[in-house]
């Protein structure tokens, strides 16, 4: 975005005093060059300033380099003078974010709106100009604009970002004026790291120790896997040190200059999406915490990072993240499936460790555990009850309860009592409900949902395979996407009659109108608002998605590596044959049962097949891998 775009965004402002605030490493210089006139006062939101008190100004302009910077600016804007004209400028934003149409807070607080204008600026940025009859708090306006860009769940309350990591350091989260986002990231210096015995505690000094909690948290609302693409260009990036600062080079050109504080933004992530991999060289940046912060942000976004041994000063990255980035080399990531699996493992670990919500929930003042997930399992086949319950029992990282709807048979049908007893031994709650065979399937689902107690409801099918992180990944996707309903793509389809696995193509980690019916997860509140599933014998999933679309709900489709759709010769409510999948399976086909390595299947539940290997594996194990990866059923630690 050019400096002229800032002037363009402010060209309609009225006369009077202008307070121009900025956040992000580039916006300060852009404001200085924009020629705002003698009545303009420029303020760094991250710098020290006097409390405004009751002061008001005519016009406030808030200029942010990216969507991430806008979110960081919301708490920093508290304490600014109120104004009757507020303009928010976002100089650049990732393509998947919407325009900055503000979402008012409700309760009649914005009754005084006189005019609102959202414009796409000539160089691709956005502006939102609002006029009020009375002065309005700038932080409230900025929050409404950020909420509109992020597209968060309808009715969802914003997570308080301050103290997200329990430290209250002002990394974009304080509730008033304070240090700029990530200020703590440059507080620890290489000089303290380089003193004799710093890492070991030798020479009589205390060892230099940085913990995970010292690393500023990643705001997963803006830095996340959304926009990840399975396919990539044959280009590799290198994160190297040049004159004491990190830059990401692709060939001889610089693709991204890492900011001094190591903050990763949505704009930076989007620039790197087409790279096959990014290799870490662990040179010096502005400080060790800032360097680790940059790596954590890239990892949370799913950028395929690879590295040699991680230096000891970067232990605060976390052992699991460090293990994953050293577990594969760049050559192996030429395989699109291996690259996607590596990205999923990495983003999963980084978001659980460095994500702001996860930090907040782990803190003393946090909200506790993730919401409980209630799984509804509806089946007409007593012989599939044991298999289906085992798919739920193996889920990890979430609190799960199950409502098992027996559609047309009783709890004493052959094999059912044994399956129920086995699930009870897992220690998880199970409710068994017998439903009349004449009840249409949509009504059976609604009856099962009525018997759940969790705040989240997931639908799982009785004959499909699910990886152990299936539910946990959906809960994670719900958090970072802000979607009303999340689900997976059916990337892998096993045609049982042909003993053949077909891979279906399709975009993932994106807003989408369809997800696989057996992978849906949503809030109970959403189901109540839409009226639940339609009372129909088939097509209940597609009709629910259509009903949600009419309500303006946001649906997010995640990756398909935790799921395998099984197609038998007969007995499915969706009545399409193998020919449909063979025609659409231009993502490839392989003989046998060939799921993603992330499925981590139990050999008990594998089908009788000529081959039970992963869809694809590295030809040679990386330094962190043990043994050949050609046998899937013997491997249970591919996380």
Q: Whose structure tokens read 């009077």?
A: 16
For residue 541, what is the enclosing H or E element?
helix 540-550
Q: Judge whether 3-150 and 373-605 match in fold.
A: no
Is residue 515 within 8 A of residue 474, CB to CB? The reply is: no
- When pLDDT is cut at 50, 70 and 90, the band that residue 151 belongs to is confident
Q: Is the pTM of this model over 0.75?
A: yes
Cα atoms in the Cβ-side hemisphere of radius 13 Å centred on 165: 22
- Displacement of CA 183 from its chain's centroid (Å): 24
**Model pLDDT, residue 165:** 36
Lowest mean pLDDT among 40-49, 427-436, 559-568, 590-599: 40-49
pLDDT greater at residue 120 or residue 620: 120
The closest alpha carbon to 362, from 372, 371, 352, belongs to 352
Which pLDDT tens digit goes with each residue over 20-53? Answer: 899 988 877 777 776 677 778 888 888 877 776 6
What value does the mean pLDDT take over residues 316-341?
Answer: 96
* Angle (CA) 66 69 72, round 5°: 155
> Residue 176: pLDDT above 50?
no
Is residue 431 within 8 A of residue 402, CB to CB? The reply is: yes
CATH architecture type of domain 3-150: 3-Layer(aba) Sandwich (3.40)
**Model pLDDT, residue 460:** 98
Q: What is the CA radius of gyration of the chain?
A: 26
What is the distance between the alpha carbons of residues 626 and 97, in angstroms, rounded to a whole number? 40
**Model pLDDT, residue 190:** 54
pLDDT greater at residue 302 or residue 171: 302
What is the distance between the alpha carbons of residues 324 and 317, in angstroms, rounded to a whole number? 11
Measured from the Cβ of residue 626, the count of other Cβ atoms closer than 10 Å reads: 9
Which pLDDT tens digit goes with each residue over 190-236? Answer: 555 544 455 555 555 555 678 999 999 999 999 999 999 998 999 99
Q: Tell me yes or no: is domain 373-605 CATH 3.90.550.10.
A: yes
The chain-wide mean pLDDT, for the chain, equals 85
522: which 2 tokens? 């949503």
Is residue 12 within 8 A of residue 53, CB to CB? The reply is: no
What value does the mean pLDDT take over residues 500-517?
Answer: 94
**Model pLDDT, residue 576:** 66
Which pLDDT tens digit goes with each residue over 236-255? Answer: 999 999 998 999 999 999 99
What value does the mean pLDDT take over residues 455-478?
Answer: 97
DSSP string, 278-325: EEE-----S-HHHHHHHHHHHHHTT--EEESSPPGGGGGG-HHHHHHH
Lowest mean pLDDT among 325-334, 471-480, 567-576: 567-576
Sequence ranges of the domains in the chain: 3-150, 214-362, 373-605
**Model pLDDT, residue 169:** 35
Residues 6+ apart with CB under 8 A from 58: 14, 15, 16, 17, 18, 83, 84, 85
What value does the mean pLDDT take over residues 294-312?
Answer: 97
> Residue 265: pLDDT above 50?
yes
**Model pLDDT, residue 201:** 53
- When pLDDT is cut at 50, 70 and 90, the band that residue 4 belongs to is low
Is residue 27 within 8 A of residue 91, CB to CB? The reply is: yes
What value does the mean pLDDT take over residues 134-158?
Answer: 82
What value does the mean pLDDT take over residues 402-422?
Answer: 97
Judging by DSSP bridges, how do beta strands 82-90 and 126-136 pair with one another?
A: antiparallel
């Amino acid at each position: 975005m050019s400096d002229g775009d800032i002037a363009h965004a402010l060209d309609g402002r009225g006369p009077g005093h202008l307070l121009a605030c900025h956040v992000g490493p580039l916006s300060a210089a852009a404001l200085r060059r924009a020629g705002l006139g003698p009545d303009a006062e420029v303020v760094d939101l991250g710098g020290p300033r006097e409390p405004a008190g009751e002061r008001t100004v005519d016009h406030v302009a808030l200029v942010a380099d990216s969507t991430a910077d806008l979110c960081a600016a919301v708490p920093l804007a508290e304490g600014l003078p109120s104004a009757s004209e507020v303009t928010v400028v976002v100089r650049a934003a990732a393509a998947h974010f919407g325009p900055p149409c503000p979402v008012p807070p409700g309760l009649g607080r914005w009754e005084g709106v006189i005019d609102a204008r959202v414009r796409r600026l000539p160089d691709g940025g956005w502006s939102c100009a609002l006029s009020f009859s009375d002065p309005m708090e700038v932080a409230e306006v900025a929050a409404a604009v950020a909420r509109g860009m992020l597209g968060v769940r309808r009715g969802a309350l914003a997570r308080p970002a301050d103290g997200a990591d329990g430290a209250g350091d002002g990394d974009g989260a304080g509730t008033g004026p304070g240090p700029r986002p990530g200020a703590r990231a440059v507080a620890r210096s290489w000089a303290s790291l380089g003193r004799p015995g710093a890492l070991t505690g030798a020479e009589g000094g205390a060892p230099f120790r940085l913990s995970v909690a010292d690393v500023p948290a990643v705001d997963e609302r803006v830095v996340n896997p959304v926009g990840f693409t399975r396919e990539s260009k044959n280009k590799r990036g290198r994160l190297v040190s040049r004159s004491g600062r990190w830059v990401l080079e692709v060939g001889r050109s610089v693709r991204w200059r890492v900011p001094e504080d190591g903050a990763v933004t949505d704009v930076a992530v989007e620039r790197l999406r087409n790279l096959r991999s990014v290799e870490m060289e662990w040179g010096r940046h502005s400080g060790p915490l800032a360097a680790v912060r940059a790596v954590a942000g890239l990892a949370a976004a799913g950028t395929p990072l690879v590295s040699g041994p991680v230096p000891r000063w970067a232990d605060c990255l976390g052992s699991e993240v460090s293990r994953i980035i050293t577990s594969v080399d760049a050559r192996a990531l030429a395989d699109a499936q291996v690259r996607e699996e590596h990205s999923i493992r990495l983003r999963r670990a980084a978001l659980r460790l460095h994500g702001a919500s996860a930090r907040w929930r782990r803190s003393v003042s946090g909200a506790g555990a993730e919401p409980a997930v209630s799984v509804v399992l509806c089946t007409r086949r007593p012989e599939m009850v044991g298999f289906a319950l085992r798919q739920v029992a193996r889920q990890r990282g979430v609190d799960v309860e199950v409502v098992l709807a027996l559609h047309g048979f009783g709890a004493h049908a052959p094999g059912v009592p044994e399956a129920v007893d086995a699930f009870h031994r897992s220690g998880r709650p199970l409710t068994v409900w017998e439903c009349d065979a004449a009840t249409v399937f949509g009504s059976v689902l609604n009856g099962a949902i009525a018997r759940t107690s969790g705040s989240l409801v997931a639908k799982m099918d009785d004959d499909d395979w699910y990886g152990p992180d299936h539910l946990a990944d959906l809960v994670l996707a719900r958090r970072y996407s802000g979607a009303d309903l999340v689900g997976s793509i059916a990337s892998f389809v096993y045609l049982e009659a042909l003993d053949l696995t077909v891979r279906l193509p399709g975009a993932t980690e994106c807003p989408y109108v369809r997800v696989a019916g057996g992978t849906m997860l949503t809030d109970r509140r959403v189901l109540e608002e839409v009226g639940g599933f339609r009372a129909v014998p088939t097509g209940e999933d597609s009709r629910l998605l259509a009903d949600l679309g009419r309500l303006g709900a946001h649906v997010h489709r995640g990756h398909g590596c935790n799921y395998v759709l099984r197609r038998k010769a007969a007995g499915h409510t969706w009545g399409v044959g193998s020919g449909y999948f063979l025609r659409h399976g231009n993502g490839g086909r392989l003989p046998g049962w060939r799921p993603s390595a992330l499925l981590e299947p139990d050999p008990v539940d594998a089908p009788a097949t000529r081959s039970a290997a992963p869809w694809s594996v590295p030809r040679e194990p990386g330094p962190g891998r043990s043994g050949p990866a050609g046998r899937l059923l013997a491997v249970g630690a591919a996380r």
